[in-house]
Structure 1
Amino acid sequence: MGNNRFIKLLPDMAVFVRVVETGSFSAAALELGLTPSAVSRQVTRLEQSLSVRLLERTTRKLRLSEPGKEAYRDCQKMVAAAKSAMDVAQQFVSLPQGLIRVSMPKAFGKTVISPLMPAFLQQYPEVDVQLILTDRQPDLNNDDVDLAIYMTDNPPDGVVARPLMQVTQVLCATPRYLAEHGTPDHPGALSGHNCIYLGETANDAEWHFRRGGETTTIKVHGRYIANHSGVRLDGILQHLGIGCLPHFTATAALEEGLIVRVLTDWEFLAAYQGTAFLQYLPNRYMALKMRVFIDYLTLHLHSSPDHSADSLAQS
């Protein structure tokens, strides 16, 4: 294939990558500002030029063929190289500019990151920010994101991981609920209470505690179950029971005295706790927009009294 013919295929290859990553022609078209038929034509043109079928099309979904898998990996490298070239160019731009795509857990993004964005956007008027709120751990090599915030004790290999804050979870209830139902003085007493828990897996109904060298696990139950911390907080505020919350979700209500912590002499060992890391791929030529965003988050989350000790949950 001659160089001129290859160069003409580059846009089709980039479109092919977005179709695979979004899972459909229509989703890729929406992102690219094209019509689904135009996207389909570009992929078909690429297939004809390569003389292979890249995608197996069904009425429900698209699936990569065997040669399509190989082509996708190579085309993906091409897109990554183009992004890298843009980052190199931005090293010579005096002001940070461009779009930053950041993935993070839903409740964390809404409660912790979103309030920080107005001041950042005002400070850097040429930088745009897209928050991608998802409880799925992103793959920085394959997903179309620049940065990811995720809670983990073991960041994946091949990424730069900067710790932002420690994460704890707490048990809370309203003073009214405790006045009516009693205040538990030991984890075992929770068996007599309505407990508001995550409910995504059977293990979410097993609450683990530690005090000194003593550990205990309690099977809890309750009439209200929710897989979002903001919804669990609403249930607690409506006096429905004792609920588990990431500390950042509970902070405001605790400070106002609307809710109080329960079993404070025990450490509540939840699945979603540890260190919140800001993760990104190593890049010798990091774009200026990325540098200022990373520095901004690190500064504000480390210096904020509300977030210095407690803050992240996936739910």
Structure 2
Amino acid sequence: MDRIVAAKVFVTIAECGSLSGAAELLDMSRAMVTRYLAEMETWSGARLFHRTTRRINLTAAGDITLLRCQELLSLADQMPSVGDTGDEEPSGMLRIACSQSLAQATLAAAIAAYLKRHRQAAVDLRIDNRAVNLVEERIDLAIRITNQLDPGVIARPLGTCHSVVCASPAYLEQHGTPRQATDLATHDCLTYTYFGKSLWHFEHAGESVSVPVSGSLSANESVVLLQAAVEGAGIALQPVFSAAPLIASGQLVALLPGYRPHAMGIHAIYMSRAHPRAISCTMLAFLAEWFAAHET
């Protein structure tokens, strides 16, 4: 049996948490999925899952094998087959999920450029700030800004998201300008909604600095916080791709030039497939080129 396919089946089982879910996603019979799993266990020389009546969970050997298979599949995805002439025109619908800020600032333009190049392709762009479940919501591709990837996903790095601390001239005139990162603790900072304290992380003079911040306004979408900063509601930590035009126009002022906010990775997250479609492969390649050319 094809070990590459066996690895994809194994990773998909781990992602779905069941053989039947993997069979549906891969358009295979459950018996075939079971055969590929048996092949993987023979290949690895270990039992890869603990099986119960409702769900299966990875064994310790399964965790190690999952990481190795993800590395293997990542390399395989970047290696076109010898017989692939690249003549297949991308077609059909591709469902992509991403946050509003990323879609608004750069992804919409990238997808528009892709669709001009590939006239038979179509994209359904799902805007959501939360991390969607690719299997349950039938998403082909999720573009996420994060440094903490889930262990059960396949991810392709696309670029780096740099951030900037900024505030409106009106806010700074009324409350003063922070000169060092620790000054932020005494300012009204616009934070993301989540449990626990907000910590903003910086690099300064070769050392890491983390500052607890708080304020009167929080939100789960950076576009809202960006507009609030323009209106003078407080100090914001924003992606450069969102804040740069407002800084250039004078509506916002970049702060703390000696402190560099921690950068985050931009990743394409997708499910493993035994036979990836041309539209998926070409979109991944196109986005990698796009973010490399437009990185700020």
- Contact kept, 8 Å, 2:222 with 2:238, in 1: the verdict is yes
Larger CA deviation: 159-168 vs 208-217: 208-217
Distance in 2 between residues matched to 1:277 and 1:137, nearest whole Å: 12
Alignment root-mean-square deviation, CA: 3.1
Answering whether residue 285 of structure 2 is matched by residue 295 of structure 1, we say yes
Describe how 1:278-293 pairs up with structure 2 within 5 A: 278-283=268-273, 285-293=275-283
Q: Could you say which residue in structure 1 is the equivalent of 2:161?
A: 167
Deviation, 1:247, is 1.8
SS at match of 1:202: coil
1:216 to 1:162, Cα distance in 2 relative to 1, 3 A:
closer
1:215 to 1:154, Cα distance in 2 relative to 1, 3 A:
closer
- Contact kept, 8 Å, 1:158 with 1:281, in 2: the verdict is no
Answering whether residue 208 of structure 2 is matched by residue 218 of structure 1, we say no
Distance in 2 between residues matched to 1:78 and 1:282, nearest whole Å: 13
- Contact kept, 8 Å, 2:26 with 2:273, in 1: the verdict is no
Describe how 1:16-31 pairs up with structure 2 within 5 A: none
Describe how 1:31-110 pairs up with structure 2 within 5 A: 73-74=19-20, 77-81=23-27, 94-110=88-104
Q: Could you say which residue in structure 1 is the equivalent of 2:170?
A: 176
1:79 to 1:200, Cα distance in 2 relative to 1, 3 A:
closer
Larger CA deviation: 97-106 vs 113-122: 113-122
SS at match of 1:176: helix
Answering whether residue 224 of structure 2 is matched by residue 231 of structure 1, we say yes
Distance in 1 between residues matched to 2:116 and 2:123, nearest whole Å: 12
Unaligned runs of 5+ in 1: 1-20, 22-68, 83-90, 310-315
SS at match of 1:102: strand
Structure 1 residue runs of 4 or more that deviate by more than 6 Å after TM superposition: none
Deviation, 1:157, is 5.1
Q: Which amino acid aligns with 1:281?
A: M
Q: Could you say which residue in structure 2 is the equivalent of 1:254?
A: 247
- Contact kept, 8 Å, 1:158 with 1:282, in 2: the verdict is no
SS at match of 2:289: helix
1:80 to 1:243, Cα distance in 2 relative to 1, 3 A:
same
- Contact kept, 8 Å, 1:191 with 1:220, in 2: the verdict is yes
Answering whether residue 179 of structure 2 is matched by residue 189 of structure 1, we say no
Q: Could you say which residue in structure 1 is the equivalent of 2:145?
A: 151
Deviation, 1:140, is 4.2
Deviation, 1:175, is 2.3
Distance in 1 between residues matched to 2:151 and 2:208, nearest whole Å: 32
Q: Could you say which residue in structure 1 is the equivalent of 2:66?
A: none
TM-score (norm 2): 0.65
Q: Could you say which residue in structure 2 is the equivalent of 1:132?
A: 126
Distance in 1 between residues matched to 2:24 and 2:112, nearest whole Å: 34
- Contact kept, 8 Å, 1:171 with 1:243, in 2: the verdict is yes
- Contact kept, 8 Å, 1:103 with 1:134, in 2: the verdict is yes
Larger radius of gyration: 1
Distance in 1 between residues matched to 2:180 and 2:278, nearest whole Å: 52
SS at match of 1:128: strand
Deviation, 1:92, is 10
- Contact kept, 8 Å, 2:129 with 2:220, in 1: the verdict is no
Deviation, 1:77, is 1.1
- Contact kept, 8 Å, 2:190 with 2:234, in 1: the verdict is yes
Distance in 1 between residues matched to 2:179 and 2:280, nearest whole Å: 48
Q: Could you say which residue in structure 1 is the equivalent of 2:197?
A: 203
Q: Which amino acid aligns with 1:219?
A: P
Q: Could you say which residue in structure 1 is the equivalent of 2:63?
A: none
- Contact kept, 8 Å, 1:101 with 1:131, in 2: the verdict is yes
TM-score (norm 1): 0.62
Distance in 2 between residues matched to 1:75 and 1:175, nearest whole Å: 54
- Contact kept, 8 Å, 2:93 with 2:123, in 1: the verdict is yes
